[in-house]
Structure 1
Amino acid sequence: MLFTIHLSLAQTTLELKGKVYADTGDPLQAIVSIHELGKYTVADPEGNFSFVGLNEGIYHLHITHMGFRSYSKNVTMTQESPTLSVVLKSSEILMDAMTIEANPFKNGPLEQSQTILIVDREFLNKNNGGTFANSIEKLPGISTINTGVGISKPVIRGMSFNRILVNDRGIKQEGQQWGADHGLEIDPFDVDRVEIIKGPASLMYGSDGMAGVINISPSGFKQNNEIELNYSGFYRSNNDMYSNSLALDGNEGDFVFRGRFTTQDFADYKIPADRFSYAGFILPIHENRLKNTAGKERHFSLMGGVQKSWGYSTLSVSNFSQNAGLFVGAVGIPNSYNLRSDGDFRNIDIPNQKNSHLKVIWNNSIQIGKSWMEVDLGYQRNQRQENSFPHNLGVGQTDFGNLALALDLDVYTANLRFNKQHNEQTQSIVGFNFQKSKNEKSGFEFLLPDFTSVQGGLFYFGEYKALSNLVFNAGIRLDRAMHNIQEHLQPLYQNGRPTGQIDQRNPDIDRSFGNLSGSAGLSWVFWEDFNLKFNLGSAYRIPTPVELATNGVHHGNFRHEVGNANLNGERSYQLDLNLAYSKPKFLITLSPFWGYFDQYIYLAPAARFSTLPGASQLWNYRQDNAIFTGFETITQFNPVKNLSFSLGLEYVYSHNLNSGLPLPLTPPFSSLLGIDYKLPEFSKIFGEIFLFAEYRYVSTQDRVDRNERTTPSYQLLEMGLGWDINVKKQTLKFQISGQNLTNSIYFNHLSRYRLLNLPEQGRNISFNLNIPIRVR
């Protein structure tokens, strides 16, 4: 790396200059950025922009401005590079202002052959649901699995857990994502941009990208000698949630730095019911609050590094810390006694869970000649503790006290990617991924044994630009993985006393897996307003240690889960199509998908209950051939200026080819209708004010697996008001909104509390405030 930097510094630095116009000929103060360097600038009132201190090479230039389609271009810098002249086409469609970079080396919608959704900080603020996963569930094709309020994980096209890969700053997030009660441990305020790839993405990202990838990106580096403070506050009335987040971001002489601290505190949440039914009993809900669902969160992140002409190098340290209560009916058997209110809705009692996720990430973007290399190294330590009373689970006094389960996971990750532009038509990427994981357990209960996993992969991705409006791409990947899982012997108890006998929950397991997979696709812009994307891929997923060896009560899921040591790897053959038609005031996209899964691994409910104390139904890991198909549509219409209508539809159809039944936990058909209106007559005096309303309809889900509950349809109404106030060249953003305004009683088919017949949250009023403060 030092040698490469030395060579780059020896080059004569260049200046990239340009001017941005609207299609009317007027200059634009657009945002212009260079992806590889993390640099951005804002054009002056005459539309002029410049970047100084560049080396010879190829750069990806991005230009965006609200009310116009985004623009992207590969720029080759030489001594004779001319001044650029860029014309942006007007568009009332907000999606056209987003620049796509789901592939780390790609830019612009033309070069993507997969269905991709992009959201920014403004979208996340508007739809803040208390967790990162809940903030993106309004996107078509995205849903969430919830355990109460503070715990949620994303679902893409009916698939979740280890079929969705979450990248945070280039490193795959590893947080025991195999459990529905294990939330995605991401600070929702520490996310600036999200890129969601729907469909097979294993080629670039590895085994867990079978259903899709969620790329989480921080904000771009500030300009030189610029420092900014930012405060974000958030309140939810339903569970009295208070969120506060303070960030500092700056650039001092090419030294870039960033820091954030976030706190979230919430009480037991309210549901529109005073009772629920379980196992034939009617049980009370006191004061409409679900007992012991309060929680506390403390998160921080720090980043520092250098930004030079040869690229950048940054080191990030972050920690996510959560202490959350578990509904008392989630551990053991719920009864009227343990459901009685204790008079304190904010205390965190037993049972509860404590989660901590530490990440250390070193990101590097380095110029080598005219090509670019990215190196990402990461270390993660995920610690999870579940506390409960031993006697509730038929266990007597133990050396662990109330520690029922502890899982400590250490993960080491290394990614290397090299991008080379061969000529104006062809470029390629060669990459390598490596990961080592080690899990250690503790506590008086057993769910998952100790294990060590090592996996790695090599890939090649090539792109050919046949015409200015037609791009082909294809790639191939080779993977190898090994799991070493230790035997576990669990002591047996009777009437709370040890019997002296032991039960082998799982044997020693030593398995290795290999795979070859690939994909190919195209993106074709025809008739100027139509964009056709087609992608055909074969993905491969390696069975996880939990699927091979788990054998215990998963209380947050209300079930006894049993693994299968003989599982094979699963393979998919997936087809993804995306057709978009875009005019300045109208956009419609249609995204059908189809996938055949050979040896699909899933948890299926058995027709009997577990014999373990405090357990419920028995669920087994199985393998069958299956089909997933469905579609998503997005429509935006701006009939007049400042008025916008949107409609999103999504449908997933799953079919088990062996049983002839649907697969469990398939989301139902859903639609979301939205209306936004800005009040231009007040903007000059009071700042920009906008109103919005959303209506969601979710159909009945009666296509369920054997022994799985059906879920009735429901409707939800949300409305809100936003206000952007300009104070001394600073823009303060305030929003008030209401969710489930009709206080409807409804059930989320994917919610873990659905198994207890508990409805979702009742009416909620949210307040959101964002205050940027320019220090320099």
Structure 2
Amino acid sequence: MRLTSLNLLLTFLSVLAWAPDLRAQGSFTLSGQIYDANTHEALPGAALLIKGTSTGVNSDNRGSFSIEVKSGKIKISCEFVGYDSVDTTLTISANTTLNFMLRQNSQQLQEVRIRGNAEIHKEIATQNLTILQGADLDRTRGLSLGESLKSITGVTTFQTGPSISKPIIHGMYSNRILILNNGVRLEAQQWGSEHAPEIDPFIANKLEVIKGAAGIRYGSDAIGGVILVEPKELPNNPGMNGEVNIIGMTNSRLGAFSSMVQGAFDKKLKGLSYRLQGTYKVAGNTSTPNYLLENTGLREKDFSAALNYHHKNYGLDLYYSIFDTKLGIFTGAEVGSGNDLQQRIQEPRPLTPSYFSYHIDRPYQTVSHNTLKLKSFYNFDNGSKIQLQYADQTNTRSEYDFTPLNGRQTPELYLQIKSQTLDINYSHKQLGDFSGSFGLNGLTQGNVRKYEYLIPNFRNYGGGAYFIEKYSHKNLLLEAGLRYDYRWLRAYMLNDNTALIETPTTHYQASSSTLGALYNFTTQLKLGANFSSAFRVPTVNELYSNGVHQSLVSFEKGDPNLKTERANNVNVNLTYATSRVLIDLQGYYNNISNFIFSNPSNQITRTPRGQALVFNYTQANVFFKGIDLGITFKPADSIDINSKTSLIYAWNKTIHDYLIYTPANRFQNSVSYHLGSFAGLKNILISAEDIFVGKQTHVPAGQDYAPAPGGYNLVNTHLGFRISLRNNFADIDLSVNNLTNKTYRDYLDRFRYFTDEPGRNFALRLRLPFRI
């Protein structure tokens, strides 16, 4: 399949070499905008074609188009990948305005869509943006945010056992990946590899991933990429609607229930809309192909509420969410000595009981995250827009180890971080071919710890200012941006020798910049390139950690002399899209000076609760380079063939060796067949998928506690259909992951030293929309 993907790419690139150029001609101007008929979002990059001619144009980053046409009768076709095309006939005798509303196709080319440009307020237009939505997103319901994103090329996860995962983009994770939940920058204890994002994926109508340094718009730290969790737009029309999702899985016997209701008012309350959403999830011990993993269950309870008021040129949004979870930590990860560790690694199965239970005992962690957002905007008559957003977040984490001999029931580690952010963005009116925005960001943050020491109490302040300007003319888009950030961090540490509180204080200031271009050779072929320079300051755990991290059975040591990371990132993206073929090819090179990482020391230290693996925070000059290739081929209306390839190479220039904990090469191929309707079932879809993850052979010599495990191959299958229920319908999805019950270990799972990955898993998903 890998050779097939390469052959397909070479074949289509050779065809493109003689693709005709599109030239506009005529004496009148046809202009307008192109929208999604359901969400009313602009569709950048949609194609408008004059039938019978070679004339055409693409919509810009606001969904707008303008084209010169001849007078008389003309036939027009408006097309966008994943949407039904719209054809119409016009008689042109003067300058004409015409808007198009496109509807999503029930047999889309693919739900993971690549857009070369997008709305200004969301991201840099010349960077790669991948969207997971629709049926592909629905098939991930019940999984964590990290697991939901693994179907996107270049994205994988760093895991701690079967229930904790966090996303990796192009080899980078934790504080290098910025996550925005409903427009709010997630501020939590994201430094630990077992600190998963505190977000309920059920709130998302789509997940957007920006791959590459995106610090200009979103602030420092986003040197690896940005993940945007986007809910549906609140409804405009009076009435009430919603949906219910029910999920059951055989492995861990997971059950999840999520419901949402939303609506809009009329008459005196016209312009006011609302949404309420809640999720409950429970799971027990996970099963590998050969045994069950003790104490790996989870409990999760989530709630969110949104209230929105829009009136002519202004509006106000209010959003509140609660995320609350309890996660069991596999008991077989405790080690008594260095010899014990080696024995655990060599054992074919853990030395722990193998039975099923929903009970969660020590060790475990509890995490709660509360978010409050208040956002307002005003649209000026000249086309300018100003937005103001305030957010307040409280993240509380408690980690419980095995019950000590004195019977104490309090957690070993307690951390609570409170954050307030303020964002102001002003988008100026269109000035000819120029558009752009500028803004300010502010952050204040404080952390309180209790019980045992891992990191100190601290205060953190930050602020930034930026501007982004775009020039769009015909088929060319140019953009540039500049940003300045300042960070202030003060820790409050107890000196064990003097019993005095010390307050080391650090100041950081740096600039970020971006420069990019996007050119549409034809309505099908686009080439984009972007250079971004961004930075990341050391976090408090990297500077001052000095204690046991219960969830990882590790002893972590920080370095107060760490310097600021600087990333210089180059991305080149080629996209070719027709009604039958979609090719997205991205190449990237990210050079990072003073890259900070947790390095295994190959030492074990004794703690009051036993032995722990020692990890030291250190720095090195490194680079990441790789290729993401996605190909979708539709040989017939009912068949989709997908191939996704992610190749990555990372090098530690400081030690002249490979960089530890780099994702292995990944190849994902699938075939989907749309059966249509049969025996009362509608939209029947059958698919099979093969995932091959190679062995990571590019590992530094002698740095890890165990050699990298071998590669593995997984087979997944899926059946989805819709059934009619009087005036309603229900979507049903049946899937099997790891169909062959393959035994394997993943290089990026911190518990790979002790246990295998989960085995076969049957999943049933039911989605029932309703309207009142």
TM-score by length of 2: 0.84
Aligned 1:677-756 pairs, distance under 5 A: 677-682=673-678, 685-705=680-700, 706-708=702-704, 709-756=707-754
Mapped partners of 1:106, 1:560: distance in 2: 39
Moved more, 92-101 or 705-714: 92-101
1:577 — aligned with what?
572
Query: Is the Cα–Cα contact under 8 Å of residues 365 and 551 in structure 2 kept in the other structure?
Result: no
The counterpart of 1:321, out of the listed 310, 314, 324, is 324
1:403 aligns with 2:411: yes
Mapped partners of 1:188, 1:308: distance in 2: 30
Partner-residue secondary structure (3-state), 1:485: strand
2:275 — aligned with what?
258
2:470 — aligned with what?
463
C-alpha distance after superposition, 1:374-399 (max 9, x if no partner): 222111110011112353xxxx649x
Query: Is the Cα–Cα contact under 8 Å of residues 506 and 549 in structure 1 kept in the other structure?
Result: no
1:84 — aligned with what?
98
Q: Give how far 1:296 is off.
A: 0.9
1:612 aligns with 2:610: no
Q: Give how far 1:66 is off.
A: 7.6
Q: Give how far 1:545 is off.
A: 0.8
Mapped partners of 1:527, 1:646: distance in 2: 23
1:365 — aligned with what?
377
Moved more, 426-435 or 366-375: 366-375
Mapped partners of 2:477, 2:64: distance in 1: 18
Mapped partners of 2:726, 2:33: distance in 1: 26
Query: Is the Cα–Cα contact under 8 Å of residues 70 and 96 in structure 1 kept in the other structure?
Result: no
2:371 partner letter: K
Mapped partners of 2:499, 2:716: distance in 1: 51
Query: Is the Cα–Cα contact under 8 Å of residues 68 and 96 in structure 1 kept in the other structure?
Result: no
Partner-residue secondary structure (3-state), 1:133: helix
Aligned 1:343-742 pairs, distance under 5 A: 345-369=357-381, 370-389=383-402, 391=404, 397=406, 401-443=409-451, 445-465=452-472, 467-489=473-495, 508-613=503-608, 614-682=610-678, 685-705=680-700, 706-708=702-704, 709-742=707-740
2:286 — aligned with what?
269
Inter-CA distance 516–106: structure 2 relative to 1 (3 Å threshold): closer
In the alignment, structure 1 segments of 5+ residues that lack a partner are 1-17, 22-27, 37-57, 72-79, 274-287, 491-501
Inter-CA distance 145–538: structure 2 relative to 1 (3 Å threshold): same
1:211 partner letter: G
Partner-residue secondary structure (3-state), 1:145: strand
Mapped partners of 1:245, 1:223: distance in 2: 23
C-alpha distance after superposition, 1:429-460 (max 9, x if no partner): 101111111111112x2211111111111001
Mapped partners of 1:414, 1:182: distance in 2: 25
1:256 partner letter: S
Q: Give how far 1:711 is off.
A: 2.0
1:313 partner letter: L
C-alpha distance after superposition, 1:602-649 (max 9, x if no partner): 111113222434343221111111111011000000001110000000
Inter-CA distance 326–565: structure 2 relative to 1 (3 Å threshold): same
1:312 — aligned with what?
315
1:230 aligns with 2:243: yes
Q: Give how far 1:33 is off.
A: 0.8
Query: Is the Cα–Cα contact under 8 Å of residues 62 and 119 in structure 2 kept in the other structure?
Result: no
Mapped partners of 2:468, 2:756: distance in 1: 47
Inter-CA distance 504–666: structure 2 relative to 1 (3 Å threshold): farther
Moved more, 445-454 or 641-650: 445-454
1:297 aligns with 2:303: no
1:68 partner letter: Y
Query: Is the Cα–Cα contact under 8 Å of residues 271 and 290 in structure 1 kept in the other structure?
Result: yes
Inter-CA distance 441–544: structure 2 relative to 1 (3 Å threshold): same
1:774 partner letter: R
Query: Is the Cα–Cα contact under 8 Å of residues 634 and 640 in structure 2 kept in the other structure?
Result: yes
1:330 partner letter: A
Query: Is the Cα–Cα contact under 8 Å of residues 407 and 442 in structure 1 kept in the other structure?
Result: yes
1:770 partner letter: R
C-alpha distance after superposition, 1:47-83 (max 9, x if no partner): xxxxxxxxxxx97679997853799xxxxxxxx9965
C-alpha distance after superposition, 1:75-120 (max 9, x if no partner): xxxxx9965243979996235977777655369xxx8211110111
The counterpart of 1:765, out of the listed 758, 762, 765, is 762
Query: Is the Cα–Cα contact under 8 Å of residues 224 and 254 in structure 1 kept in the other structure?
Result: no
TM-score by length of 1: 0.83
Moved more, 111-120 or 664-673: 111-120
Inter-CA distance 667–135: structure 2 relative to 1 (3 Å threshold): same
1:315 partner letter: L
2:19 — aligned with what?
none
Partner-residue secondary structure (3-state), 1:209: coil
Paired positions, count? 687
Mapped partners of 2:260, 2:133: distance in 1: 17
Identity %: 26
Moved more, 381-390 or 744-753: 381-390
Query: Is the Cα–Cα contact under 8 Å of residues 353 and 384 in structure 1 kept in the other structure?
Result: yes
Query: Is the Cα–Cα contact under 8 Å of residues 102 and 197 in structure 1 kept in the other structure?
Result: no
Q: Give how far 1:763 is off.
A: 0.5
1:578 partner letter: N
Partner-residue secondary structure (3-state), 1:687: strand
Inter-CA distance 132–568: structure 2 relative to 1 (3 Å threshold): same
Mapped partners of 1:742, 1:584: distance in 2: 34
Mapped partners of 1:648, 1:527: distance in 2: 24
Aligned 1:41-56 pairs, distance under 5 A: none
Please tell me the root mean square deviation across aligned C-alpha atoms, in Å: 3.1
Mapped partners of 1:626, 1:769: distance in 2: 46
1:170 aligns with 2:170: no
Moved more, 338-347 or 164-173: 338-347
C-alpha distance after superposition, 1:21-59 (max 9, x if no partner): 9xxxxxx994361569xxxxxxxxxxxxxxxxxxxxx97
Task: List, as ranges, runs of 4+ consecutive aligned residues in structure 1 with deviation greater than 6 Å.
Answer: 18-21, 61-66, 87-91, 96-101, 334-338, 502-506
Mapped partners of 1:524, 1:307: distance in 2: 36
Partner-residue secondary structure (3-state), 1:403: coil
1:278 — aligned with what?
none
